[in-house]
């Protein structure tokens, strides 16, 4: 198992190298650091000189190599916008985002699996129809709309209606001023962003879990278990459940990487200084060094989630044992 993980990490190195080149190439061709010099006097000469200073007159591969080697030395460069160290900016932004993703994925998984299994076992019941309807609303609801609605309905309106001193749940940041650590204050801050971030995932994953559970409940081996006299509950959880999780792993692993996209909107709405916020700021400020580093971090996310998915397969399905 351990050697497998090490080997997989080793395999992911070329993926990262190629990804870093593509990202570098993409940003390099769409972004011109000498743009502001265009209005200066004798622009052509000034720009050419600056381009030479920055090494922009070299080939794209050698430019990338320069950036990549300094990246390997732990030097991600300096932000074009704030002159701050990019490495520090990224690590600073990573922590709140990791919290959101950790609790988000955990919450979405538990809820989606519970709803999916319930809907499949009680197919065509009132509860099943209810969850079906709610999940379609969840799938159709844009993240920003859900976030704003949640803030209005849970935070601001109750305060005005019931003349509360403070809202039940907060909608700004992850901690109140002076607070830190895992406490009630943290949870009251965390609830709405996590919900906003994951509402679509819960909706999609629960549909998926329902479908795969229905599939499995009709499988021959479930009938075999019933023919053995195994009680219904044990048939569902002992025989069907684990098999039904296998297809879900793929969807969750792929979607989890996409959650980074959801972070952009969620963090903006709830004023959380994480990766999503950093991305928006870097993009609007034309901050190439930050964007480069940001995309690399996301690439690492994708690789890590895929690795987790592969490990989950081998835990769930003995036919895919790693050796």
Partner 1 sequence: MTDVDPTDLDTFLLPDAPAAMVAGETAPLLSVRNLTVQFDTDDGIVHAVDDVSFDMVANETLGIVGESGSGKSVTSLAILGLLPKGAHVTGEVRFRGENILGINDNALRELRGDRIAMIFQDALAALNPVLTVGHQVAEAISVHHDLSRADREARVIELLDLVGISQPDQRYKQYPHEFSGGMRQRAMIAMSIANDPDVLIADEPTTALDVTIQAQVLEVLERIQDRTNSAIMLITHDLGVVAGVADRVVVMYAGRHAEMGTVDEIFYEPKHPYTRGLLASLPRVDRRVVNERLHRIEGQPPSSIFVPSGCAFHPRCPYADLQGLCVTEIPPLVDLEGGHFSACHFAKTLDERIPPHA
Instruction: Kindly tell me which of 178 and 318 has the beta carbon lying closer to partner 1.
Output: 318
Contact range with partner 1 by CB under 8 A, out of 42-50, 222-230, 265-273, 301-309: 222-230
Residue 319 binds to partner 1 (criterion: CB under 8 A): yes
Residue 113 binds to partner 1 (criterion: CB under 8 A): no
Among positions 37, 211, 316, 322, the unique one binding partner 1 when judged by CB under 8 A: 316
Long-range pairs, 72-77, Cβ under 8 A, ≥24? 76/289, 76/292, 76/293, 77/289, 77/292, 77/293
Q: What are phi and psi of 163, to 5 degrees?
A: 50, 50
Among positions 230, 280, 304, 322, the unique one binding partner 1 when judged by CB under 8 A: 230
Among positions 7, 52, 122, 223, the unique one binding partner 1 when judged by CB under 8 A: 223
Asked if residues 247 and 170 have their Cβ atoms less than 8 Å apart, the reply is no
Among positions 242, 254, 261, 283, the unique one binding partner 1 when judged by CB under 8 A: 242
The helix or strand, by DSSP H or E, that contains position 132, with its residue range, turns out to be helix 126-140
Distance CA 309, CA 245 (A): 11
Q: Residue 54 Cβ, how far from partner 1 at the closest point, in Å?
A: 57
Q: Residue 199 Cβ, how far from partner 1 at the closest point, in Å?
A: 31
Spatial CA neighbour of 21 closest among 58, 74, 61: 61
Distance CA 209, CA 215 (A): 10
Instruction: Kindly tell me which of 78 and 316 has the beta carbon lying closer to partner 1.
Output: 316
Residue 122 binds to partner 1 (criterion: CB under 8 A): no
Q: What is the DSSP string of 84-119?
A: -BHHHHHHHHHHHHHHHHHHHHHHHHHHHHHHHHHH
Instruction: Kindly tell me which of 142 and 238 has the beta carbon lying closer to partner 1.
Output: 238
Residue 311 binds to partner 1 (criterion: CB under 8 A): no
Tokens for 238, please give them: 């002992």
Residue 233 binds to partner 1 (criterion: CB under 8 A): no
Q: Residue 256 Cβ, how far from partner 1 at the closest point, in Å?
A: 23
Q: Residue 27 Cβ, how far from partner 1 at the closest point, in Å?
A: 45
| Gap between the terminal Cα atoms of the chain | 6
Q: How many residues does the chain have?
A: 323
Q: Which residues bind partner 1 (CB under 8 A)?
A: 219-221, 223-232, 238-239, 242-243, 316-319
């Amino acid at each position: 198992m351990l050697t497998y993980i090490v080997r997989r990490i080793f395999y992911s190195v070329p993926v990262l190298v190629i990804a870093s080149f593509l990202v570098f190439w993409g940003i390099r061709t769409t972004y011109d650091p000498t743009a502001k010099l265009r209005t200066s006097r004798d622009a052509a000469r000034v720009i050419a000189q600056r381009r030479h200073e920055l090494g922009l007159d070299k080939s794209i591969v050698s430019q990338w190599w320069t950036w990549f080697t300094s990246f390997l030395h732990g030097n991600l460069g300096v932000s074009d916008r704030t002159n701050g160290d990019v490495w520090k900016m990224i690590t600073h932004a990573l922590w709140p985002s990791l919290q959101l993703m950790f609790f988000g994925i955990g919450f979405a998984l538990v809820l989606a699996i519970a709803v999916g299994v319930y809907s499949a076992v009680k197919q065509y019941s009132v509860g099943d129809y209810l969850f079906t309807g709610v999940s379609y609303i969840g799938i159709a609801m844009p993240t920003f709309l859900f976030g704003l609605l949640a803030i209005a309905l849970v935070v601001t309106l109750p305060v005005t209606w019931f003349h509360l001193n403070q809202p039940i749940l907060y909608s700004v940041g992850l901690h109140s001023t002076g607070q830190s650590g895992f406490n009630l204050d943290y949870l009251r801050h965390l609830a709405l962003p996590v919900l906003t971030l994951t509402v679509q995932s819960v909706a999609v994953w629960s549909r998926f879990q329902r479908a795969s559970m229905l599939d499995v409940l009709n499988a021959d081996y479930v009938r075999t278990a019933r023919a053995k006299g195994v009680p219904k509950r044990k048939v569902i959880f002992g025989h069907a459940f684990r098999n039904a999780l296998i297809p879900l792993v793929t969807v969750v692993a792929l979607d989890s990487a996409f959650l980074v996209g959801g972070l952009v909107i969620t963090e903006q709405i709830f004023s959380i200084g994480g990766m999503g916020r950093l991305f928006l700021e870097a993009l609007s400020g034309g901050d190439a060094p930050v964007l480069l580093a940001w995309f690399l971090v996301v690439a690492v996310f994708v690789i890590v989630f895929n690795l987790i998915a592969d490990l989950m397969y081998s835990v769930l399905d003995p036919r895919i044992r790693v050796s």
